[in-house]
Structure 1
């Protein structure tokens, strides 16, 4: 499969929310307990800009009629404090039909390529310890386990550990 990506626009929000909500119900990669709405997502979405903390949507170049099949967002690390602006926390969500087919790798490669132009030197992500597929994906792309936060989340009575992974791009 071949993929492309572009900066998300507000009209992409319904599909973004649909993809995210598909992940919410799995209880494997989000701490949201209930599906979100487009209106609830809009304020955080509008904070992203192409030149600071972009929000990309991905499409399958071989099946453009599918529209958006995944997304990657560069998020602020540690509450938007300027001293941390060299670090971006990544969020990747893929449509279930486009998981395990190279889309996650494509997006992580593109994020690493784009980061220097955004003034980003370090990429991080937090992943549930039970989400072995995502941990393998990030490790395959040079991310190391930098820490574990034991039992920091509870989903339907089940406590979850959170793993912090990171990759310094240079230096």
Structure 2
């Protein structure tokens, strides 16, 4: 059973822990060093339950990850477009939590008047590309070799989906 709750500041250490656990793989984030809980306060405050949620994901009542919708580009004309971030703890991957969560946040987004969701994924992150393609996201942009991870140039793929 998968459930979702609005994240609280008490959840932030877990959220940061899951995020930091992905850094070493060089598959998921462009951060190269772990982030601190304190450094994520402003990011946390940019979310709200009405239009830019940050949800804690629980699998059988055990925290297993988080998902958020963030503003795209920060200008009013883009208010109906968001960026999705989805992080699942490694112990819980392969249980269809990602698919269920993307479907759930899309349903929320439609009700909140959001019309498009973007997902930024490294070109070598095959698991995430497969997840979003399975959820009918299409490639809207390719930014070749815009990131450098341990001396290796990496592509950024932007997948998008219209909800209207």
TM-score over 0.5 (shorter chain): yes
Matched with 2:93 is: 99
Instruction: Say how many residue pairs are matched.
Output: 164
Verify: 1:115 aligned to 2:109, yes or no. yes
Matched with 2:24 is: 25
Q: Specify every segment of 5 or more residues in structure 1 that has no aligned partner in the other structure, as ranges.
A: none
Q: Quick one: distance in 2 between partners of 1:148 and 1:100?
A: 27
Q: Normalising by structure 1, report the TM-score.
A: 0.93
Q: Quick one: distance in 1 between partners of 2:91 and 2:123?
A: 23
Matched with 2:71 is: 76
Residue 148 (structure 1) shift = 0.5
Verify: 1:10 aligned to 2:9, yes or no. yes
Deviation by residue 1:88-109 (Cα, 9 ceiling, x = unmatched): 1000011000112111111100
Deviation by residue 1:147-171 (Cα, 9 ceiling, x = unmatched): 110000001101110000000012x
Which consecutive segments of 4 or more residues in structure 1 shift more than 2 A? none
Q: Specify every segment of 5 or more residues in structure 2 that has no aligned partner in the other structure, as ranges.
A: none
Matched with 2:131 is: 137
Q: CA RMSD in A?
A: 0.8
Matched with 1:157 is: 151
Q: Quick one: distance in 1 between partners of 2:35 and 2:93?
A: 21
Q: Quick one: distance in 1 between partners of 2:127 and 2:8?
A: 29
Residue 47 (structure 1) shift = 1.4
Deviation by residue 1:34-82 (Cα, 9 ceiling, x = unmatched): 0001000111101110002110110012xx2x3x21111101111x101
Matched with 1:58 is: 57
Instruction: Tell me the secondary structure at the aligned position of residue 12 of structure 1.
Output: helix
Matched with 1:86 is: 80
